[in-house]
C-alpha cells in the first residue's frame, strides 16, 4: 500500500470521526438554543429546547437523510481507500466528492427552512464538525482523483508512443531472398540457375555451374 493510500485512509477516518462533533447551532437573538452533532442529525434525537417562560421542552429531531448519506460516503471512501491501486482510487474520489456535495445541499436546505419557518428570528451557525468534515471530504476526493489521473496519464502516453517505437524491421517489408545468378566460366556473364547455355556467349554450361554450385 502506497503512502498516498495511507493518507487517503487517514483523511476518511478523520472525516468519519468529525460527525461526532457539533455540526450546527440554532440561536435566537444571539442566544444559543440548541447545538446538534453530525451523528444526531444523521440518526435523529430528542433535544431539550429552552422556553422563554417555563421549563425546557423535549423536541424530537428527525433523521436528516443528507447527513446520513454524507456519513455513508465517508465510510465508503474509507473502505475503498484500502484498495491501494490507481484504479481503486476512483471510488474514494467519487465518494468524497459526493459527500462534499451532500453537505453543501444540507447547508442550503437548513438555511432555507430556518428562513421560511422563523422569518429571520432564528439563525443557524455551522460548527467545527461541519466545516472539518466538508474540508476533509473534498481533500479525500482531490487526493484520490490526483492518484487516479496521474497513473493513467503515463499509460496513455506510452500507448500513444508505441507505434513510433516499433523497430524498423517491423515497419519495413523485407523482400523475399533470391539466390544470385552464377557466372559463366567462359565469358563471366551471369547465368540463371538451371540454364544449360550461357546467354552471353552461347557456350554449354557444366552441370555444376547450371546447378548454381559456384554460389557461396
pLDDT value at residue 100: 97
Asked whether residue 163 is domain-assigned, the answer is no
Examine the pLDDT at 215 and tell me if it is beyond 50.
no
- Show which of 132, 153, 174 is a domain's final residue: 153
Same domain as 121, residue 68? yes
The predicted model gives 145-150 an average pLDDT of 88
Per-residue model confidence as pLDDT tens digits over 19-72: 999 999 988 877 888 889 999 999 988 766 655 555 656 677 788 999 999 999
Same domain as 148, residue 198? no
- Show which of 134, 153, 172 is a domain's final residue: 153
Asked whether residue 45 is domain-assigned, the answer is yes
Range of the domain at 93: 3-153
pLDDT value at residue 156: 52
Phi, psi of 154 (to 5 degrees): -60, -35
Per-residue model confidence as pLDDT tens digits over 102-145: 999 999 998 888 878 766 678 889 999 999 999 999 999 999 99
pLDDT value at residue 71: 95
Same domain as 137, residue 44? yes
Going by C-alpha positions, the residue among 145, 118, 137 that lies closest to residue 38 is: 137
The predicted model gives 2-7 an average pLDDT of 82
Same domain as 194, residue 137? no
Same domain as 188, residue 147? no
Q: How many domains does the chain have?
A: 2
Name the 3-class secondary structure at 174.
coil
The one-character DSSP state at 181 is P
Same domain as 202, residue 149? no
Which is higher by pLDDT, 10 or 155?
10
The one-character DSSP state at 83 is G
37 forms bridges with which residues in the sheet?
A: 22
Asked whether residue 170 is domain-assigned, the answer is no
Pick from 40-54, 89-103, 183-197 the range whose average pLDDT is largest. Answer: 89-103
pTM of this structure = 0.64
Amino acid at each position: 500500500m502506497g503512502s498516498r493510500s495511507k493518507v487517503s485512509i487517514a483523511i476518511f477516518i478523520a472525516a468519519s470521526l468529525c460527525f461526532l462533533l457539533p455540526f450546527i447551532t440554532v440561536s435566537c437573538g444571539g442566544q444559543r438554543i440548541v447545538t446538534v452533532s453530525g451523528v444526531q442529525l444523521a440518526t435523529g434525537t430528542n433535544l431539550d429546547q429552552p422556553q422563554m417562560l417555563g421549563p425546557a421542552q423535549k423536541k424530537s429531531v428527525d433523521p436528516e437523510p443528507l447527513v446520513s448519506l454524507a456519513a455513508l460516503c465517508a465510510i465508503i471512501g474509507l473502505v475503498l481507500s484500502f484498495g491501494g491501486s490507481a484504479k481503486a482510487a476512483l471510488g474514494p474520489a467519487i465518494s468524497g466528492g459526493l459527500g462534499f456535495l451532500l453537505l453543501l445541499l444540507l447547508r442550503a436546505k437548513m438555511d432555507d427552512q430556518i428562513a421560511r419557518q422563523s422569518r429571520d428570528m432564528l439563525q443557524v451557525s455551522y460548527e467545527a464538525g461541519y466545516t472539518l468534515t466538508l474540508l476533509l471530504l473534498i481533500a479525500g476526493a482531490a487526493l484520490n482523483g490526483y492518484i487516479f489521473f496521474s497513473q493513467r496519464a503515463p499509460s496513455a502516453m506510452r500507448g500513444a508512443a508505441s507505434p513510433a517505437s516499433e523497430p524498423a524491421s517491423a515497419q519495413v517489408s523485407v523482400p523475399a531472398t533470391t539466390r544470385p545468378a552464377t557466372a559463366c566460366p567462359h565469358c563471366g556473364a551471369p547465368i540463371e540457375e538451371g540454364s544449360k547455355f550461357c546467354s552471353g556467349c552461347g557456350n554449354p554450361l557444366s552441370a555444376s555451374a547450371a546447378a548454381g554450385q559456384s554460389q557461396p
